[in-house]
């Protein structure tokens, strides 16, 4: 039986069809009733669910298909540069190669900084975690490891009564870092055991089903066509289908195992000094001459950036893989992320590079719970605001309430007094395709004062290195959806400022008048209004955003 939910669409304007060819815009603020899609989405539906419309398809997507069909048909926008601050990106991918930014002011491989921007041969962007010999950081320490290493000499085995008053703040940070170290170690060890369990189940299912089917390899089609009454066969059939649907193969599972083990061995190792590979001083923001121009290496281990780029910019209409948000876009790869936490210096310099080289939107689908040099990043965000560049980042996937003073997440735009440092910053939470208590992705961070907006972030189909594709999830996947819509607005309405685009995205979303389930710090569950989890209380909507952009542009 289908459930009926009240859905409140709160946007300042909407299109209504008219009997004449003239389109009319009128204020819209009402409550509608819609039948929620109750059955599970098919594999094909999952490949583009995030673009569906809640009223037409009863799926809480961003109404992108409707926007192209009813509003953007026969319209051509300007090309927009979107900087993707992330891992390296597969710039030769079949669905991305036409969408990559090219620095036309630089001559390739001549060893000269032709455009005098401080970076030699930066044809497609810059890699801040590589060196001149082509080596790259693959694993980096977590920021809490760096903090503990820094403060250990001052605070090891000390209690608060032995700390001077001017050291209290640092001591409290040190204690929080120690707590997170313990939690992370426990989590990683459990993750390691889980992956080993997945591999054992996968191998056993493969062995039994290959023997049953008398084949050397098994396809999904063979599994779906298998009709057995044997409970053991049915059990392993279900296991393999589940693994295939989640993109698991023997190689990917072994890759997860290796990655998890290396995370324990390196990211949590106090003696591991990854910055020795680069040779710079990570605590000197003026030491900027480092990195290399290889933005597309190490893709077997660092593929996250390719996932994000595909959500924004995978070529539309070419019948390959997935559809991005728009075609009128160029992705600027700026590599700062390894397996671990980013350095604030790299974040700040990447933001400044993006701004100085023409990006109008910056997408950063990563973050961390501590920031050793936060002011550098804040200054870079304010620099982007001054230059009219919109900065969009993810809220994180720890299920935390970021309004709680115990749960910080960086970068953010909140001053110590609660005010915002700029009007060009957005933090994005993740929603799902289900219109019930699981409307939010269960791991998404949230916060009425810290998270701005939600966007689809569960099973988002996108590009993977080497001309492959897979699903992505979490606030990482939600963030480029908002960045893509922002690019769409700036493409068609270049007169609108970064702060106006932010205002449009916040005001034009859809507010679902339902309660959703969140997990509290003590692992208990609680039902809360969806509207209480972000500043806007909404899920981003491309169609409504374009309508409001049209109105705002005409009234300038």
How many CA atoms within 13 Å lie on the side-chain side of 176?
Answer: 15
**93 counts as catalytic:** no
The SS3 call for residue 85 is strand
DSSP symbol at 37: P
User: What HEC string does 139-179 produce?
Assistant: ECCCHHHHHHHHHHHHHCCCCHHHCCHHHHHHHHHHHHHHH
SS3 361: strand
The answer to whether the beta carbons of residues 389 and 355 sit under 8 Å apart is yes
- Residues 6+ away with beta carbon under 8 Å from 16: 24, 26
Of 409, 423, 288, nearest to 350 by C-alpha is 288
**DSSP sequence for 442-488:** TT--B-TTT--EEEE-SSEEEEETTTEEEEE-SHHHHHHHHHHHHHH
- For 281-307, letters b (16+ CB in 10 Å) and e give ebeebeeeebbbbbbbbbbebbbbbbb
Decide if 518 contacts 481 (C-beta within 8 A). Answer: no
Is residue 86 annotated as part of the catalytic site, yes or no? yes
Residue from 304, 407, 446, 492 carrying the catalytic annotation: 304
Q: 11, 53, 63, 86: which is the annotated catalytic residue?
A: 86
Q: Is 284 a catalytic residue?
A: no
Catalytic residue among 263, 267, 371, 476: 476
Taking alpha carbons only, the member of 150, 145, 184 closest to residue 170 is: 150
Structure-block tokens of residue 551: 């109105």
367, 371, 373, 377 alpha-carbon torsion, rounded to 10°: 30
Q: Which helix (H) or strand (E) holds 430?
A: strand 425-431
Q: What is the DSSP letter of 267?
A: I
Contact 261, 90 (CB under 8 A): no
Q: What separation in angstroms does the CA of 177 have from each of 195, 395, 406?
A: 26, 19, 11
Residue 341 tokens, joined: 């936490």
The catalytic residues are: 86, 304, 476
């Amino acid at each position: 039986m289908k459930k009926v939910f009240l859905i409140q669409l709160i946007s300042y304007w909407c299109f209504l069809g008219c009997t004449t060819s003239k389109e009319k815009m009128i204020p819209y603020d009402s409550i509608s009733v819609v039948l929620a899609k109750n059955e599970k989405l098919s594999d094909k539906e999952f490949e583009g669910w995030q673009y569906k419309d809640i009223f037409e398809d009863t799926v809480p997507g961003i109404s992108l298909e409707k926007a192209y069909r009813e509003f953007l048909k026969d319209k051509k926008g300007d090309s927009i540069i979107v900087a993707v601050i992330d891992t390296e990106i597969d710039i030769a991918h079949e669905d991305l190669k036409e969408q990559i930014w090219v620095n036309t002011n630089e001559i390739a491989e001549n060893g000269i900084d032709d455009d005098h921007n401080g970076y030699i041969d930066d044809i497609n962007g810059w890699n801040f975690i590589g060196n001149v010999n082509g080596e790259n950081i693959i694993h980096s320490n977590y920021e809490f490891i760096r903090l503990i290493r820094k403060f250990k000499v001052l605070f090891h085995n000390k209690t608060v009564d032995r700390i001077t008053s001017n050291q209290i703040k640092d001591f409290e940070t040190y204690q929080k870092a120690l707590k997170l170290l313990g939690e992370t170690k426990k989590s990683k060890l459990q993750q390691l055991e889980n992956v080993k369990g997945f591999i054992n189940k996968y191998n056993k299912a493969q062995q039994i089903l290959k023997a049953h089917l008398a084949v050397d390899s098994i396809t999904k089609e063979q599994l779906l066509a298998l009709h057995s009454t044997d409970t053991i066969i049915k059990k392993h059939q279900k296991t393999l289908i589940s693994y295939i649907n989640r993109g698991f193969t023997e190689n990917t599972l072994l890759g997860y195992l290796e990655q998890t083990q290396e995370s324990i061995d390196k990211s949590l190792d106090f003696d591991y000094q990854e910055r020795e590979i680069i040779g710079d001083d990570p605590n000197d923001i003026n030491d900027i001459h480092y990195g290399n121009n290889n933005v597309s290496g190490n893709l077997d281990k660092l593929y996250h950036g390719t996932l994000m780029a595909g959500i924004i910019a995978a070529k539309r209409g070419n019948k390959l893989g997935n559809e991005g948000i728009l075609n009128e876009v160029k992705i600027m790869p700026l590599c700062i992320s390894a397996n671990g936490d980013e350095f604030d210096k790299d974040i700040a310099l990447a933001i400044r590079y993006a701004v100085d080289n023409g990006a109008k939107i910056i997408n950063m689908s990563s973050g961390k719970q501590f920031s050793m040099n936060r002011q550098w990043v804040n200054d870079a965000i304010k620099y982007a605001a001054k230059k009219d560049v919109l900065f969009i980042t993810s809220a994180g996937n720890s299920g935390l309430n970021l309004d709680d003073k115990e749960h910080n997440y960086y970068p953010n735009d909140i001053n110590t007094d609660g005010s915002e440092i700029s009007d060009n910053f957005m933090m994005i939470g993740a929603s799902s395709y289900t219109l019930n208590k699981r409307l939010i992705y269960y791991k998404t961070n949230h916060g009425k004062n810290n998270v701005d907006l939600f966007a689809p972030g569960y099973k988002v189909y996108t590009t993977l290195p080497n001309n492959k594709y897979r699903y992505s999830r979490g606030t990482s996947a939600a963030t480029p959806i908002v960045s893509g819509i922002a690019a769409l607005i700036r493409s068609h309405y270049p007169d609108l400022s970064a702060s106006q685009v932010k205002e449009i995205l916040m005001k034009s979303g859809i507010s679902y008048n339902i309660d959703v389930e969140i997990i509290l710090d003590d692992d208990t569950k609680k039902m809360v209004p969806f509207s209480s989890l972000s500043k806007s209380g909404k899920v981003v909507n491309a169609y409504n955003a374009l309508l409001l952009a049209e109105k705002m542009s005409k009234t300038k």
